[in-house]
Amino acid sequence: MAWRTVDAGGNKLTQKTHPAVPGVSAVSETFIISCNKNAEDVLRALGGLSLDEAFGKSLSPFVVRVSGKQFIIARSARIPNPFARALFGVVNDASHGSVVDYSFSIKPAVRILFSLWFALMTVVFLTGVSAIMTSGITGYRLELVIVAMSFLASALAIVSVCLILSRKDEREMERALVGIIGDTK
């Protein structure tokens, strides 16, 4: 694990990196920002991110949920991308302001359901392969293996494309968060 500081539009971000993290994954590395505002002010501003102050209506492209010191910022879309990563974070008080820890992650329910589906397809694939190995190749067994392989490959391709397409939204969510945090240390 290594730490590095990056300049993001005049704000310094301290980033905890993991050397084994791939370019596209379900969970990103963790980012840490120190700011001059206290945790309560940051959380209040985050809660107001999705509302128009004058009308109390949601005009923002984001949906924000704040619970205690934790928050989630997700993209609000007409056609949802279930594999788009949301910004999950925690705001903690520090000696002179607050510290915001956040990372991007796929929603836990989506991750669990996809993992179960992937496990099921893997079992179907392995069942077909073992049936071919023990009893020989028949049309049904070969079709079972081919269908399972095509489902697994297409699912991985779709998830990868969805994750890549969500990168633009992630940058916008991060810009909104850094805009709320304001002056950083």
pLDDT in tens, 68-84: 999 988 887 777 788 88
Of 46, 16, 39, 44, nearest to 28 by C-alpha is 16
pLDDT the model gives residue 97 = 87
Of 73, 49, 20, 67, nearest to 180 by C-alpha is 49
Cα–Cα distance measured from residue 29 to residue 1, given in angstroms and rounded to the nearest whole number: 10
pTM of the model: 0.66
| Confidence tier at 185 by pLDDT (50, 70, 90) | low
Bridge partners of 182, per DSSP, are: none
Q: Is residue 122 a contact partner of residue 143, using CB atoms and an 8 Å limit? A: no
Right CATH for 2-107+175-181 from 3.30.1490, 3.30.530, 3.30.70, 3.90.25: 3.30.530
Cα–Cα distance measured from residue 74 to residue 65, given in angstroms and rounded to the nearest whole number: 9
pLDDT the model gives residue 59 = 54
Structure tokens at 172: 């916008």
Structure tokens at 57: 């209506």
Residues with Cβ within 8 Å of 37's Cβ and at least 6 positions away in sequence, in order, are: 45, 97, 98, 181, 182, 183
